[in-house]
A and B are shown apart, each in its own frame.
Chain A
């Protein structure tokens, strides 16, 4: 029996979450410290997994497989390769920094961390999953705590609406995908939900063309694909900071990853058939998301729509169905996750102090919170795809891949880079520089060390990948090769 590293990563959060429920509700300090211990263990284990993955050998590693519901050929089956390992690491990072950022939550912190940790287990479980049933199981676990987290601790104005909208959108998507999954299971006739076995099921082309949209778009709802992206900015804005980080940073990747894992990898012929539609929709995501972001006056909505735009790039990368595009999409998922977590952390810090997110009413925050300003600018540079930052490493291959398949799409999508630069510059200029409005004079308290640690960790990762891409790029490329081996061609 090998060391169950992935199981430890998957089940540490929920163990701590349940443990927290037995704490006395008033003992906030003990609750926070315990939460931080749990998050640190999960992060430590995922970092360990990331660096002990044998790149030379590639393929799925740290595999564990235990029969779960044998009647249906369902097993608990986890393993990571170049595609999902970075995402496991991402979840660890966002969870850890999310706990740091949420230190100040005073309303029922016990329940907050418990729900957040249940959510984290769901996310880890999906990323590590090699069994289709298990993937659905954890996927739903990741969806419902979101509702409570946003509805209870979110922004009072829109939280009820946004939480319900988000939950229903995601649930609709996932149950439609579930029917698709069941159709695959019975069509394969192998009495197995094991995705590694289903890969070789040899579904007929007609079957793949019929069911691919159900599965792919069902999951892509959570990836924020146009025109069902609408839940995402509302959800981001209404959520409390740590949940926005999770939400935009990790949850949207969950949708994108599941569309890839179940849609493209199990139904490759369907993917080829439907790729033009995905390209078209994702292009709308990229350009339209960027345009909408640039006219928002609410700081958080800017970031919310920028997520829609950037997730479009991930989907574009998938739809190229070639090595460059796929690799870029893989790196973009990680890079965007860290970047957007950083953005939302910054927005949260500004909002907690200024109590407004209206960009015209803000200004001059760089003088009061220099580290926050630097962190945001780093995130901004990543977002624009500036060389030297992780965004470049991710977006460049995507555009290369696009150029090989659809040069026109590449040109249209590239417009978004200019628009992104525009709105990021505007936000930086308005919020962090310029005059500090008189109403904030002397009222802005500095951020604490935990916040600083979170910002530094996130920013450091973005720069590290930017200047030293071989820490991630070859790994993701090996994962992308495995995907393309199934798709064939290219």
Chain B
């Protein structure tokens, strides 16, 4: 590694990360300056800060045509990294807005600072091109998330959630790190692109490589909650503060996919066939297990947890396709899934604030108690179920198209059959919302302005990107092309 050819352009490339770190520090400082009762603006401060960073990233951090490997090969500043950066910062901003109305966390500076640091870690994950950097980035993301999941100290479930997340995370990280060490041992390289080159030349035994790949895959599969490493997700999702659940189920998963995509396309072309079969089986398991277990849930957060497992499975289909179109479809799928799931969780938070419940049965009569909240829920759920004109439809369409194009027709069929199971339980929830009545029908549910804003933004985007997906998909194609 050498830092001799350091250029000012490098600063621009890691500008988002620098700014995020700055924002975290500012939040901590502001936190010290104000009294507890005056600090409810912290969420908005974070959201606005993140929005500014988003705009700056969009304007100045675009990848240039030059050598994308920067900082001595630690990071690769390319279109996929840039795309994921934007998506992740957006998700963090929405999460910050969703946190504004929750009493136990709205006035806690450390909460928002940890959120921002985790986002920084995710951005680094998306760009890491070196095993060491990758591991550091994953831990920078995970450790704040463990704390955030257990943030509600008075709540046993939250504590359980934090602890469980930590234990699962630590074990899978260890296995993954062991895989990394084997990779280094086999090739003598830590940069994943040079490592790939070394593997091609080295004529290593495919069995050894495959075994190592599986070890590494454990860590990534944990991050994206793919079966059979999904067991943590329902408990963690249920116990964590809901904005954090939203964040883990969207941004953290997307960051995991960013790593998986980069790693897989760079490191394992040598054992392509076996690798894609493993992923195909994993996708099938993930979708099927996620969807079937979701059927039996009575708690909305657990339902969304299993649904998020299933969605990881759909996204994996695009990865199995192993083509530009496939990769683009994964990127597009994740970005839109983030949008949709954030909207769904926003509704869950608003409802829990007013009704104090996360049981699906208690959603009865919601359409009378708040028609617009129900409409937002309808849009989010149907988009998750893959109905046009919402974005979930085109996202699934692209993924299945990629599978058919690459000849994975059986996988596409598995995908569509799963989509049907998915639709069933999303409709079951909507049935409760729209059809059933409760004794509290006249008890209107207020929607605070911050949530109304977040919901309107997400819902409009769901419809707009769903009907006019061309420019967004082209962006994803652009990102995918630079990986091939």
Contact = CB atoms under 8 A, between A and B. Distances in A.
A164 B405 contact: no
A21 B382 CA distance: 18
A168 interface: yes
Nearest to A138: B388
A71 B401 contact: no
A164 B385 CA distance: 14
Interface in A72-118: 72, 108, 111
A141 B469 CA distance: 16
B401 A151 contact: no
B430 interface: yes
B373 interface: no
B11 interface: no
Contacts of A138: 388
Contacts of A167: 423, 427
B424 A164 contact: yes
B469 A178 contact: no
B420 interface: yes
B184 interface: no
Interface in B349-400: 367-368, 371, 375, 382, 387-389, 393-394, 397, 400
B412 A179 contact: yes
B135 interface: no
B244 interface: no
B424 A152 contact: no
Contacts of A67: 470
Interface in A158-178: 160, 163-164, 167-168, 171-172, 175-176, 178
Interface in B41-59: none
Contact of A71 (B393, B400, B435, B474): B474
A68 B397 CA distance: 15
A144 interface: yes
Given A111-B367, A141-B388, A167-B427, A71 B420 contact: no
A286 B431 CA distance: 34
A71 B394 CA distance: 13
Interface in B442-484: 468-470, 473-474, 477
Interface string B412-447: 110011011001100110110011000000000000
A137 B409 CA distance: 21
Nearest to A121: B389
Given A179-B413, A179-B416, A182-B412, A141 B431 contact: no
B393 A175 contact: no
A175 B419 contact: yes
B420 A175 contact: yes
Contacts of A152: 434-435
A137 B469 contact: no
A141 B420 CA distance: 15
Contact of A25 (B371, B387, B389, B470): B371
Interface string B328-352: 0000000000000000000000000
Contacts of B477: 71
A172 B427 contact: no
A70 interface: yes
Contacts of A141: 387-389
A318 interface: no
Contacts of A140: 387-388, 393
Given A171-B423, A182-B400, A186-B404, A69 B416 contact: no
B473 A69 contact: yes
Pick the most buried of A72, A108, A136: most chain B CB atoms within 10 A of its CB: A72
A21 B400 contact: no
A423 to B, nearest CB: 33
Contacts of A316: none
B435 A164 contact: no
A21 B420 contact: no
Contacts of A301: none
A119 to B, nearest CB: 12
Nearest to A183: B404
A171 B419 CA distance: 9
A167 B382 CA distance: 13
Contacts of B435: 151-152, 160
A212 interface: no
A454 interface: no
Contact of B375 (A21, A69, A182): A21
Nearest to A14: B389
B470 A137 contact: no
Contacts of B431: 151, 160, 163-164
The residue among B387, B388, B423, B473 with the most chain A CB atoms within 10 A of its own CB is B388
Given A167-B423, A175-B420, A70 B470 contact: yes
Contacts of B469: 69
Contacts of B416: 175-176, 178-179
A147 interface: yes
A97 B405 CA distance: 45
A168 B420 contact: yes
A372 interface: no
B10 to A, nearest CB: 33
Contact of A69 (B368, B400, B424, B470): B470
Given A144-B387, A168-B420, A168-B423, A182 B404 contact: yes
A173 to B, nearest CB: 10
A431 interface: no
Nearest to B393: A140
A148 interface: yes
A425 B394 CA distance: 49
A148 B435 CA distance: 8
Contact of A137 (B368, B389, B400): B389
Contacts of A163: 431
A21 B394 CA distance: 25
A464 to B, nearest CB: 36
Contacts of B389: 137, 141
- Which of the listed residues B397, B417, B424 has the most CB atoms from chain A within 10 Å of its own CB? B397
B447 to A, nearest CB: 16
A332 to B, nearest CB: 29
Nearest to A174: B416
Nearest to B468: A68
Nearest to A22: B372
Given A71-B477, A160-B431, A179-B400, A168 B470 contact: no
Contacts of B404: 179, 182-183, 186
A172 B397 CA distance: 15
A72 B424 contact: no
Nearest to B382: A144
Contacts of B413: 176, 179
Given A140-B393, A148-B430, A186-B404, 17 more contacts: A71-B474, A72-B401, A133-B397, A141-B387, A141-B389, A151-B431, A152-B435, A160-B435, A164-B424, A164-B428, A172-B420, A175-B417, A175-B420, A179-B404, A179-B416, A182-B405, A186-B401
13 contacts: A71-B474, A137-B388, A140-B388, A148-B434, A164-B427, A164-B428, A168-B424, A178-B400, A178-B416, A179-B400, A179-B416, A182-B405, A183-B409
- CB-based closest 4 A-B pairs: A175-B416, A182-B404, A69-B470, A137-B388
